[in-house]
């Protein structure tokens, strides 16, 4: 039973990292599209709302990275 748990943990970690990487790439691609203004020319499809939401996501991503970095710096002390 313990061998089974030892194998399951690395596999679960690999799957989690893979899923997070794929989600990160998709979100990064959408944010790139927002930065290039690809959604801004479609008022019928709520392009302005999509652009605003994308900019908010960009700001949140920067904020989260800053918080993680601050915690990492305090862990060194």
* Half-sphere CA count of 6, side-chain side, radius 13 A: 3
Contact 54, 39 (CB under 8 A): yes
The pLDDT confidence band at residue 74, using thresholds 50, 70 and 90, is low
* Half-sphere CA count of 24, side-chain side, radius 13 A: 7
> Which residues fall within 8 angstroms of residue 33, CB to CB, at 6 or more apart?
39, 54
pLDDT tens digits, one per residue of 47-65: 777 777 878 888 888 888 8
pLDDT tens digits, one per residue of 7-49: 678 888 889 889 989 998 888 888 787 777 776 666 676 777 7
Q: What is the domain extent for residue 19?
A: 2-75
pLDDT at 3 over 70: no
The pLDDT confidence band at residue 6, using thresholds 50, 70 and 90, is low
Number of domains in the chain: 1
CA distance 36 to 41: 11
Q: Tell me, what's the pLDDT at 19?
A: 92
């Amino acid at each position: 039973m313990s061998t089974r748990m030892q194998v399951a943990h690395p596999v679960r970690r690999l799957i989690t990292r893979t899923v997070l990487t794929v989600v990160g790439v998709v979100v990064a691609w959408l944010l790139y599209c927002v930065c290039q203004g690809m959604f801004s020319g479609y008022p019928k499809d709520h392009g302005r709302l999509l652009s605003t939401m994308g900019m908010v996501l960009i700001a949140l991503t920067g904020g989260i990275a800053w918080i993680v970095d601050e915690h990492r710096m305090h862990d060194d002390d």
